[in-house]
Structure 1
Amino acid sequence: MKYLTNISLKPIITFLILISCVLSFAQNLQEYKGEVLDKNTNKPLALADLTIANSNISTITNNAGEFSIKVPDNLAQNTVTISYLGYQKLEFSLSDFKNNTKFYLSQAPTVLAQIDLVRPTDAEALVKKTFDLKGDNYFTENVNMTGFYRETIKKRNRNASLSEAVVSINKVAYNSKKNDEITLIKARKSTDYARLDTIALKLQGGPFSSLYTDVIKYPAYIFNDNTMVNYNFKFGQNTQIDNRLVYVIHFEQKKNITSPMYNGKLYIDATTYALTSAVYNLNVENREAASKLFVRKKPKTATVYPTEASYRVNYRTKDGKWYFGYSNILLTFKINWDNRWFNSKYTLQSEMAITDWNIDDTKLSLKQSKKLRPNSILQNQASGFSDPNFWGEYNIIEPEKSIENAINKIDKQLKRG
């Protein structure tokens, strides 16, 4: 199917040549650190949303439930809201905050069975309605966003490459056919080429790939007039977020469809029919067809195919309108070499979190020198890893322990050099 060959969430396997670009500035801020945990099990809650009241500042927790958030002094008395799908939201004042505090969320009570009686009966029709209502539920103005982007490549379970960037995004109105634009503000990257065995996997588009998971803005990558009929849709168990009822819809490609398509879950607000989040995977059972979707270049002596392709997008709401808030892409590949006994396994993961935004009806004035192209590769900059204040005023996703260890190794290597 021709439309499948245009999917833009593709890594490239090829040799690397990278350049660098760095800027830096800061302002008076207070930084708050803590953890978000399940109240009953004490387990960390990954990807919980934290937003500062009366502002558009936000962040998310990492896989260990940890977060850090930088807040200007003039907002130090504001309230923080922690939200997580299936849990009751928690609010607290920054003035009562103590660093490294643990915050416990309680699971939302089971949605009463009688609520199911008023649930729509046609899951596919509800999905179509969700996309038809995007002009009512999502921003119809241009939104200037600040985002933090992280991209990692692992060989087996060891970090081989780490990239991070702060970007400025001109998020075009959801009812516009124009595409979003991205400008690079700050970036750093380091790659252990020896660990990559002279092969590098690059995520084409970098931050753009994260934006393309926004299925409301870019539905053609999953659902369109041609592909909708190739899926089966059914309702799952209802859930809640921020004390709002959410319908859960499961979708999967029909058995008679052999081309790689998607399966996953859509979380739809029961009141507005807005998509609040989506979690989905590409069907990679057809190795040859799945490989063609991702691999642009490779050595002749290697056979490359994906074993996993997972995607996630979360939306946030403010003043009755929803907007893109977070995305995550996880791709795993196996490389079989003609002249080697053992294969290689690589995992590419990228995530982007929107940390601030403001509405602007005028188009951003983007500097061409730092404006990223949709097929661009994140630029290379290693020196920032040795600077603990590299990010200045910008909010980032708190690094996980494995990433912290990789950063420490990079610091040591730079000091030796």
Structure 2
Amino acid sequence: MYERCHRIQKKTLTVILSVLCVLAFGTTNVFAFQQQEKTENYKQYKGEVIDASSKKALVFATLSVEGTNISTITNTEGSFLLKIPESITDATVVVSFLGYKSKNIPLSQLKPNKNRISLIISVTELSEVNINAPKDAAALVKETLARKGDNYFDDPTLMTAFYRETIKKRRKNVSLSEAVVNIYKTPYSSLRKDAVELYKARKSTDYSKLDTVALKLQGGPFNTLYVDIIKYPEYIFAEGSISDYKFTFSRSTRINDKLIYVIKFKQLETITEPLYTGELFIDVENRTLTSAIYTLNITDREKAARLFVRRKPARVDVWPTEVAYRVDYREKGGKWYYGYSNVLLEFKVDWEDKLFNSVYSMTAEMAVTDWEKNITGELPKNRERLKKSIILSDEALGFSDPDFWGEYNIIEPEKSIESAIKKIQRQLRRSKAKGGASAP
């Protein structure tokens, strides 16, 4: 049993996310962060977002400044760091999380540190007699996965997506990469994998903050694309491993006027391999997964490290301390499709001859900006596709195409990905008009 489970995990997880840790001697500062050229000063607000009842941390809760494009999300411990320009003195911070009531907080009420924000669950009362209400949580999950051919896109689709990955040493940004990609999405009922084509990419890296270690994220956009549970259930619920989890009903809520059941899941205590724990948000009427938030069990740090670390110097230990995932789906014409995903990782790097550890965090997120039917169903040629082993920060050549990025010539990690998308929409439309690079 354990050998089978280990074989499944080794096959899947190392494909989804792998971190390449390499020794970088004599590296010069190639690209300084463009946002450091900005003269505007910022105020920082730190704190945590928790469940008001259980006091548990809320992972991937969103904090946004009303009327601006400034936002941030909480990490796997529910902690956040929100940076706001000093020029903004009178504003409201909106704190939200799936299935919870949002909270509006005047900026003047936030402290520089130790803010503790609690959110209340939004619960929908169900009638006592409901013949459609599922009685078995595991059965509901299995049925939802089985109906992907009915509820999700059944045509080949060409999507445009914006991808961003960030590497931080503690709280300091050291590497930022952004890309616009074309995703050749195959039907959800098909076993054929999606293909990804790089359209535009750029990076900003400050190697001086990396000491003598350069952490690199291998897989680029595939790290986020494979969080699409409905298309790739094998990366979380591999065939035969769904029985390694315990599924329970948590609560019901309403999101966008749809009745949503929240299903909690965690690995059985008898399973020793690193699996997942989290919540699935299921539209109970249509048996459709609308969102999922989950984390990896990394109690055994050596096993967890083997899943992620591809290569490292001999005198260095590297292991993950936090790993979290989120995926959101969108609906169009009664069919659902992948819309957004986020991956958050935190690693410790321990040098044999150093007294203190270094802590690095890596975030990868991707959002679909546009899509259209791929009428021919054709995929790009192999030489035009991104390889799953891509390291985007090595492929992106700085700010090599200022004509495309236009006014959006600064990587702004404190701004939401939605803000970045809005800024490049004009360039995407212009490129399409010129017939460039098959951007939809």
User: What is the TM-score normalised by the length of structure 2?
Assistant: 0.69
* Distance apart, 1:172 and its partner CA: 0.8
The 5 Å alignment of 1:193-208 reads 193-208=207-222
- Secondary structure of the structure 1 residue equivalent to 2:298: coil
Q: Which residue type is aligned with residue 398 of structure 2?
A: A
Equivalence map 1:285-304=2 (5 Å): 285-304=299-318
Question: Is it true that 1:11 corresponds to 2:27 in the alignment?
Answer: no
Name the CA shift for 1:359/1:374 in 2 (closer, same or farther; >3 Å): same
Provide the residue aligned with 2:203 in structure 1: 189
Equivalent positions of 1:259-338 (< 5 A) are: 259-338=273-352
Q: Percent identity?
A: 49
Q: CA deviation at 1:229?
A: 1.0
Alignment partners' CA distance in 2, 1:214 and 1:165: 19
Change in CA separation of 1:255 and 1:150 when aligned onto 2, cut-off 3 Å: same
The runs of at least 4 consecutive aligned structure 1 residues that moved more than 6 Å come to none
Distance 2:374 2:407 in 1: 22
What whole-Å deviation, never above 9, does each CA across 1:197-219 have from its counterpart, x for those lacking one?
23222221110111100011111
| Paired residues of 2:123 and 2:251 also in contact (CA < 8 A) | no
The Cα shift of 1:246 comes to 0.5
Task: Determine the structure 2 residue equivalent to 1:132.
Answer: 146
- How far apart are the structure 2 equivalents of 1:247 and 1:186? 39
Structure 1 counterpart of 2:72: 63
Corresponding residue of 2:164: 150
* Contact persistence 2:72–2:416 (CA under 8 A): no
* Local SS of the residue matching 2:144: helix
Alpha carbons of structure 1 residues 368 and 237: separation in structure 2 relative to 1, 3 Å:
same
Aligned match for 2:246, one of 232, 238, 245 = 232
Within the candidate set 399, 417, 427, 1:383 is matched to: 399
Q: Secondary structure at the match of 1:293?
A: helix
Q: How does 1:146-185 map to 2 (within 5 A)?
A: 146-185=160-199
What CA distance in whole angstroms lies between the structure 2 residues aligned with 1:240 and 1:397? 36
The verdict on how the C-alpha distance between 1:398 and 1:111 changes in structure 2, with shifts beyond 3 A counting, is farther
- C-alpha displacement of 1:367: 6.0
Report the AA paired with residue 189 of structure 2: N
8 Å Cα contact 2:196-2:386 kept in structure 1: yes
CA distance in structure 1 between the aligned counterparts of 2:249 and 2:169, rounded to whole angstroms = 38
Contact kept in structure 1, 2:23 and 2:313, CA below 8 Å = no
Question: How far is 1:255 from its partner?
Answer: 0.7
Q: Which runs of 5+ in 1 are unaligned?
A: 21-43, 49-59, 67-82, 90-106, 404-417
Query: Judging changes above 3 Å, is the alpha-carbon distance between structure 1 residues 233 and 109 closer, same or farther for their aligned structure 2 residues?
Result: closer
Matching residue's letter, 2:324: S
Q: Distance in 2 between matches of 1:397 and 1:267?
A: 33
For 2:85, the equivalent position in structure 1 comes to none
Q: Give the stretch that moved more between structures: 188-197 or 367-376.
A: 367-376
Partner of 1:114: 127
- Quick check: 1:87–1:241 contact (8 Å CA) kept in 2? no
Higher mean C-alpha displacement, 319-328 vs 371-380: 371-380
After TM superposition, give the deviation of residue 342 of structure 1 in Å.
0.8
Q: Name the TM-score, length of structure 1 as normaliser.
A: 0.72
* Deviation of the 1:46 alpha carbon: 3.0
Q: Quick one: distance in 1 between partners of 2:231 and 2:145?
A: 9
Alpha carbon RMSD of aligned pairs, Å? 3.3
In the alignment, the residues of structure 2 paired with residue 181 and residue 230 of structure 1 have an alpha-carbon distance, to the nearest angstrom, of 31
CA 1:234–1:88 in structure 2 vs 1: closer, same or farther (change >3 Å)? closer
The letter for the 2-side match of 1:346 is: Y
1:371 Cα deviation from its structure 2 partner:
2.1
CA distance in 2, matches of 1:258, 1:278: 23
- What is the identity, as a one-letter code, of the residue corresponding to 1:13? C
**Deviation at residue 164 of structure 1 after TM alignment:** 0.4
> Would the aligned equivalents of 1:148 and 1:397 in 2 still touch at CA under 8 Å?
no
TM-superposed deviation, 1:384: 5.4
User: What runs of 5+ residues in structure 2 fail to find an aligned partner?
Assistant: 1-5, 31-59, 75-81, 83-95, 103-119, 418-440
Asked whether the 8 Å contact 2:155–2:374 carries over to 1, the reply is yes
| Contact 1:154-1:161 at 8 Å conserved across structures | yes
Report the count of equivalent residues. 331
Per the alignment, residue 7 of structure 2 pairs with 2
**1:72 paired residue number:** none
Q: Distance in 2 between matches of 1:197 and 1:348?
A: 17
* 8 A Cα contact 1:12 1:203, kept in partner: yes
Name the amino acid aligned to 1:114. S
Deviation at 1:230, TM superposition (A): 0.7
Give, in whole Å, the separation in 2 of the partners of 1:398 and 1:134: 36
Match of 1:411 in 2: none
Cα deviation 1:50-104 (Å, max 9, x = unaligned): xxxxxxxxxx9842799xxxxxxxxxxxxxxxx9844899xxxxxxxxxxxxxxx
Return closer, same or farther for 1:228/1:369 CA change in 2, 3 Å cut-off.
closer
Q: CA 1:237/1:393 → structure 2, altered by over 3 Å: closer, same or farther?
A: farther
1:242 equivalent in structure 2: 256
